[in-house]
Every structure is written in C-alpha cells, then in structure tokens.
Structure 1
Amino acid sequence: MIRIEVTSADLAASRFAVSPLLETMHALWTLSGRAEAGPHRAWVARWRGAYARLARRHPGLDAIAAISGNRGSANVDFIAPPPTGVRAAFADELARMRGTPLSLAHAEIERVLARLPRPPSPGVLEILRGPDVVRVIAEAFEAAWTEIVAAEWPRFRAVLERDVVQRAGRLAAYGWGRPWTTWASRCAGAPGTSSWPSAPPTRCGGTNWAGGACCSCRPCSTGGWPRSWTTRGRTR
C-alpha cells in the first residue's frame, strides 16, 4: 500500500507537470511488454521493431528495466527526477539525471536489488554495479527518446497539456477537494492522507511524507491518474 501524507503547505506548493523523460520511461515499459499498451496498441506495433533493434545496441535498456517499473519499493529514484513544469525539455531532465553522484546511484541500486524476487542477469548486474552506470542509462534514455519518442512527442505533449488544463480548471473552480475526491475513488485515506493499492506498475511503497516539499501531479499518456503523483518528500 502506498500512503502519501500531505499538509496544506504541501498542497500550496504542488503543481501540475509534464515530463518527457518519464514518458520515455513509460514508453520503454510498454514497448518491452512490461506494461499494457491500452489505447497505444497501434503505436506499439509501429515502434516495437525499432525498440528491439535499439535494445540490441543499448544494454542500458535492460538495466533500466531491472530497476524501474517493479512492484512496491523495488525502484530507484535517480533515473526519474521530479518534473519542474509543463514545458520541461527532455535535454534538461536528462542533464539532471546525468548529474546523479555515482555513490547515490549505487546506493539506490543496491537497495532495489535487495528487494527484487530474483537477481538480474550477470550482464545487467555488471552494468548496475559498474562505474559507468549513470552514463550507460542516460545514453539508453537519450537513444530511446531520439529514435522513438521524439518523433511523436508533440502529439503526446498536446494530449497531456490538455489534461493539465482541464484539471487545473477544476482546481481553480473547486479547490483541491474535487481532484482529491476524484483520486479517492481509487484510494483509501483519511484527512491529510491518501493511499493506493501497491500493484504493478506502482513504483513506491510505505508511507511517503511530503514534508513541506512540492508535489508534482503528472498526467501520463500510458498510465493516467492518480499513479502519476510525484513528491520530493521523504519516505519513512
């Protein structure tokens, strides 16, 4: 179960955001068959061959798959920094991810490896525990973006931004009560909290305390709401 505790200060600092890097990660899950294609079946059929060729050239894609999109809390944070707004550029988000200290990346990876039901292949483990893991993962993301996602990003972004506009309008008209009530249809919560069942492809677990930090409410073209709630807060 995912439990997010928020205060009025957290909500005041919250915003809607769109993330090309996170959309690229979701696209990889969908193209690899780890996530349901849903309404994107035609898009997946069109790009699956390109993804297979890309995977042969970039073993970092297998490394990404090993440490993201897993049940519960068996997922790293550094490959998906919280988005900063609705017009974030892929290059800027990737630069933030590239700036991850190796010690932090290795610490998060080891935490995830300890929680996986079975270890990744030896080749993937070599990448994950190697000195170039951040670079290798960044290059895999960049290749996936350049060769697959970027071609149709304007269309995806337009859909996501329309969703943000619609929900921002509801927020302006009704306050946080209306979106919170909408999300609550899939949540179990109490005042100041919300909880979601931890089911694939949920990527966190435990009690997440926003702690005065901002939260990003992010639409996802392959997932939807509310699982695209991102917080800079701490897990406890």
Structure 2
Amino acid sequence: MGWWQVDADTLAQSRFVVSPLAETVAALKTLRHGTAAHPGERRWLDAHLPRYRERSAADPVTAALVGAALGPRWNATFLTPTPAAEGESGGGDRGGDRGGDRGGDRGGDRGEDRGEDRGEDRGEDRGEDRGEDRGEDRGEAAFARELEPVRATPPGVVRADLAEALGGPVPELLRRDDLAERAADLLAWVWTETVRPSWPHRRRIIEADALARTARHGTHGWAAALDGMRPGLRWLGGSRLQVTPSDSPPLELAGAQLMFVPVTPSRSWVCWDVPPVDGRRARPGRRYAVVYPCAGVLAEEGRRPVPQALAALLGPARAGLLTQLDVPRTTTQLVALTGLPLGSVGRHLRILREAGLAHRCRVGRSVPYVLTAAGRVLLDACPAGPEPPDGGPGPGRPRPGRRAGRLRTPRRRAAPASPARPVRPPGSGGPGRGGARRAGRPAPARSRPRRGPAGCGRSPPAR
C-alpha cells in the first residue's frame, strides 16, 4: 500500500479546495473510459460522448496523448497539476472555518428572524440571478489560471512525464514539441463544452460535500471525515494516511500543504507538485492533493414538483425540502439538490422534524431524513394545481419576466396626493360648486363691476 506521513501541523492546516481544472480532468477521464457510475452520469455521457469521439477521431495525436497521459496506474504530472492552496476553497477555507462559525452563531439568531422573509424573497430571485452568473465568471477565471502551467510545460518535461506514466519509452507519434499545447486545447474544449454549462450546480455539490466533511471532522475527527473519500484512502493512525491500496514508496509531508479536492465525476487520484529542474522532474515539492468523487451527485430529472398549495402553506424552500424527502436523503444531498445554504437546510429540517412531518435515522455514519406518515399524507393531499387556461400567470406562478419565488400578496399603493387648489368664492367661475357650469343650465348673469374713485379698487359685484 502507499501511505503518507502527515504530521499534526500539516493535517490541521489542510483544506478543501474547489478546482475547475480538476473537475475538467475528471470529466476527461470519464469521457475517455465511456462508463458511468450512476444514471445522471450516463445521461451526461449520452449528451457529450459522441462529440468527444468525433474530436478524437479527427485528431489522432491528441487521442494518443490522452491514452498515454492517463495511464492505468499513473497519470502524467503535467496533465494533473496540484491545485494552488490559495485557490477557491469550499469547506476547509470558507465553508468549514467561516461557514461553520458564522452559520452557527449568526444563522440561528438572525436566520430565523430575517432568513425566512428576506432569504426566500430575495435569496431565490437575487441568489440565482447573481450567484450563478458570478459563479460562472469566477469558474472561468480560475480555470484559465490553472490551465496556464499546463500550456507552459516544456516539451522535455512532457515527454518525461509520459514515459513515467507509460512505464516505458514514448511512442514515435508523441515525440513532438506541441503536446502541452494540444493537451491544454483539449482541456479547454472539455471545460467549455461539457463542464462550464453546469458549473454552478457542480460547485454547489462540491461545496456541500466539503461542508459536510468539515462538520463530520469537527464531531468525529479526521478518521470519520476521510471515511469513504476514495477507494483505498483511510486513516491508519500514528500520523499515517493511506492514499492508495497499491504499493508505492511512502512520502513525508512535514510542513507541506495538504489539500482535498472534491469533483462530481466518479474519478479519483492523488497528485503532488514536482517542480522541473533542467527539463526534468527532480523531487516532490510542498503541495499534495487528494482528488476524490464527492457525495450528493444526484439526478434532478424526475423529481416530484412542489405543489403550489404546499408552497403557499410552508414557503417554497421548506415545501421543496419536504418533497425531496419521499426517499431518505442526507443534508449533503439536500444542499446539492436545492442549492440552499447548509445552515438554511438544517434549520428547515429541524422545523419539519419538530412539526412531525419528517424524521431522521442513522445509517452507518450518515443521518438521512425521510417523510413521516403525517408528512406523506400532507404531501399527497396537495396535488399540483392546474395550469391557467389562458396560459397566463396563475396562483403560485411568476409573471412573465420574473423568477419563481415566494408567493407575495399584492400591496395597495396609496394614490398620489393632488396639489392644493385655491379656494374661490361661489359664483367666481372657478371649479367650486357655485362656479361650475352644469349641463343644460346657463351661467348666472353678472353685471360689469362699477369703478369708484381712484385708489378704491373694484366694487363688489352687483347682486
């Protein structure tokens, strides 16, 4: 077996990292093998595998490069670089340290007061609008930064990495100097065509897994947090971390940076940076990473729609969680499916459990939630409402151009105050009662005013 010697300081400073490039490499591995681990991945392959095979058939050099770089035992180092520790982080950096402290301290007090009103009103509309756009922009920029070292790898280092992955000489077809450029172009194509369109959803799943493992570490320790992360990975005790079941020399990680990188495809590998010296890899650097398939990768198709009456009764977020509990689901899976923050999901589940609509059970180390008999009766008693006959907005449906959010009661707006009008005496011809001309009635006769002596002004009208 292969194991790493991890001291206490390295383990304490380890973190979870979100890596768009690692997600792309995992997608490339799935496309190359053409096998799916679950129905959702099967649908993804059905959508993208034909185009990948067409591209490979049109470029045999790149196809041979992928086959050599992703060997049966080792990956070429230049194609699977170690993510930077200062990159975007999920559980260990933001989600674990900050999310756990802020979510626990402030979420319980502020969340229940303001969260249900502001969070459901603004969060679903604003969060989906801004969050997904901002997530795509950040993912694109992070992917471009991670791809630069792949494209800049010297030709000699690429050939040395391929020889190590193959365990022998490099084929004649791959003895050329543009392999790094070809590999970067292929990764950019996989990212653009297959990963970036669903990156906001993938990121939510990755962050949910990192948050759940961080919470498990705080409760049960590192052995529980690492349990089931990837085949062959387990905590041996005595500062030893087994990373692979195959035999490989042990590595000492004293003072190094250890990162855990979740990805949504069912692929895993370990990597560490080996800076090149004079065109060859010399010795391992200071960054090590474990890339593993995260939990909560579930298909969104075929889900039961949220009944409109139930959403009006419980609120759309809580009603959506209740409809997901027709089968047992963990908190991580619910976060991944709904896109809600972990603290909000936990708060809604607690309220549903206190109301007798859901209960939790323990299955090994996981604690899934499921409907109670009362919750199932309530869910079955609220069928989805019919569509309006004219296709216009109906109860619980957003008006055109608006996102579906919380049902809002229309507010009556006060009429704008009219400007003050001068009060005129009756009979003066103004808009008063006496001055208004009525239909069919002539205006009252008025005589010309008489003038008095100079300086006396006008005399009152004759009666």
Query: TM-score of the superposition, structure 1-length normalised?
Result: 0.78
Contact 2:206 2:262 in 1 (8 A): yes
Structure number with greater Rg is 2
Q: Of residues 156, 159, 162 in structure 2, which corresponds to 1:109?
A: 162
Q: What number of residue pairs does the alignment pair up?
A: 218
Residue 223 of structure 1 aligns to a residue in which SS?
Answer: coil
**CA distance change for structure 1 residues 229 and 216 in 2, over 3 Å: closer, same or farther?**
farther
**CA distance change for structure 1 residues 215 and 33 in 2, over 3 Å: closer, same or farther?**
same
Relative contact order: is structure 1 or structure 2 higher (C-alpha 8 Å, sep ≥ 6)? 1
For 2:218 and 2:252, the matched residues in 1 are separated by 25
Unpaired stretches in structure 2, ≥5 consecutive residues:
90-138, 275-283, 286-463
Structure 2 counterpart of 1:56, one-letter code: A
Q: What is the CA-CA distance between 1:96 and the residue it aligns to? A: 2.3
Higher mean displacement: 184-193 or 45-54: 184-193
Q: What is the CA-CA distance between 1:177 and the residue it aligns to? A: 4.4
Residue 219 of structure 1 aligns to a residue in which SS?
Answer: strand
Residue 4 of structure 1 aligns to a residue in which SS?
Answer: strand
- Alignment correspondent of 2:241: 194
Contact 1:215 1:232 in 2 (8 A): no
Q: What is the CA-CA distance between 1:185 and the residue it aligns to? A: 9.0
Contact 2:155 2:176 in 1 (8 A): no
Contact 1:218 1:230 in 2 (8 A): no
Structure 1 counterpart of 2:261, one-letter code: R
Q: What is the CA-CA distance between 1:132 and the residue it aligns to? A: 1.2
For 2:227 and 2:187, the matched residues in 1 are separated by 35
- Alignment correspondent of 2:145: 92
- Alignment correspondent of 1:212: 255
Structural mapping, 1:19-168, within 5 Å: 19-33=19-33, 36-39=35-38, 40-58=41-59, 59-71=61-73, 74-84=74-84, 85-86=87-88, 89-115=142-168, 122=171, 125-127=172-174, 129-168=175-214
**CA distance change for structure 1 residues 205 and 19 in 2, over 3 Å: closer, same or farther?**
farther
Q: Deviations over 1:14-58 (max 9, x none)?
A: 110122212222212212226x41121111111111211222344
Q: Deviations over 1:103-153 (max 9, x none)?
A: 3222222222335xxx77x5xx423x3111111111111112112222222
- Alignment correspondent of 1:171: 217
For 1:38 and 1:180, the matched residues in 2 are separated by 21
**CA distance change for structure 1 residues 42 and 3 in 2, over 3 Å: closer, same or farther?**
same
Aligned-pair identity (%): 28
Contact 2:226 2:235 in 1 (8 A): no
For 2:218 and 2:238, the matched residues in 1 are separated by 21
Higher mean displacement: 61-70 or 42-51: 61-70
Q: What is the CA-CA distance between 1:184 and the residue it aligns to? A: 9.9
Higher mean displacement: 61-70 or 211-220: 61-70
For 1:185 and 1:68, the matched residues in 2 are separated by 18
Q: What is the CA-CA distance between 1:159 and the residue it aligns to? A: 0.9
Q: Which runs of 4+ in 1 moved over 4 A?
A: 180-186, 227-233
For 2:215 and 2:180, the matched residues in 1 are separated by 39
For 1:5 and 1:17, the matched residues in 2 are separated by 21
Contact 1:216 1:230 in 2 (8 A): no
**CA distance change for structure 1 residues 91 and 63 in 2, over 3 Å: closer, same or farther?**
same
- Alignment correspondent of 1:201: none
For 1:146 and 1:43, the matched residues in 2 are separated by 14
Residue 189 of structure 1 aligns to a residue in which SS?
Answer: strand
